[in-house]
Amino acid sequence: MNRIDARFKELAQSGTAAFIPFLTAGDPDLETTLRVLEGAAGAGADLIELGFPFSDPIADGPTIQSSYQRALSGGQNVGQVLELVRTARKTCPLPIVAMVSYSIVFKWGLETFLDRATEAGLDGATVPDLPVEEAAEFLPIAQGRDFRLICFVTPATAKSRRAMVAQHARGFIYYISVRGITGERAGLPPDLVENIRELRSLTDVPIAVGFGVSTPEQAMAVGRSADGVIVGSAIVKRMAAAAQQGADAAEAALSFIREMSAATKSAP
């Protein structure tokens, strides 16, 4: 069974939501990312979303954009990120989902990229510039490799399109909680619970919520209604601040993951 499916099945049996941290590969360096990957399970993470640095990110706010630029300036490339995953797999049991632009996939060639991704130990991918309407080639090839394409739904997604996404979704659905880009928010949108409830009526595939979740209180609130809580900018920001101050960026990430995971799993 795909590691994503297995983990969500296990969490459903225990009645808890998944905590899913996002990391930018290579920010501040690959060694630090590796340490977080190796320590994430012990810190309470359930899955990991790993960002492949890209020069023209889609939907990412300034925090993650800056992390991509730092990683690229440090010389990170796709081959190095895949090797990072391969190394992490020796000790990291968690599902790892790539966040990768389709431009990267297209440049490598779809089958070549998926072969290399699965060989390295990736379990799926979020591809923000590949709408489900244009994924007809990707989906069967990925499915043949037991690799999950994670589809997106937003508050602005029409009901007919939500139904189409739900039909094709595998692994989990990434529900973008806000209209706009990634980044920390002061509060959660008032229609979040209603939108999750409506989406859940269309599919049995788990629903994970991202964009704007940045505090333990928000993670707890999302964990009450969603199957997963995704946190990115708040982690990336803390790592960047630690690195700038000469502190341990990996421990800054793991400490925050512990706090956010505990809040997610304490949701009644």
Residues 208, 228 contacting (CB under 8 angstroms): yes
The token pair that represents 114 in the structure block? 């998926």
pLDDT in tens, 95-104: 999 999 999 9
Options 27, 29, 60, 227, the catalytic residue: 60
Give residue 186's pLDDT: 53
**Domain at 3-265, CATH class:** alpha beta
| Confidence grade of residue 185 (pLDDT, cut at 50, 70, 90) | very low
Establish whether 60 is a catalytic residue.
yes
pLDDT in tens, 39-75: 999 999 999 999 999 987 676 678 899 999 999 999 9
List, in sequence order, every residue forming a beta bridge with 173; answer none if it has no partner: 151, 207
Mean pLDDT of the chain: 92
pLDDT in tens, 254-268: 999 999 999 999 866
| Confidence grade of residue 187 (pLDDT, cut at 50, 70, 90) | low
Establish whether 38 is a catalytic residue.
no
Options 46, 49, 123, 227, the catalytic residue: 49
Structural domain spans, the chain: 3-265
Mean pLDDT of 204-209: 96
Mean pLDDT of 236-263: 97
pTM for this prediction: 0.94
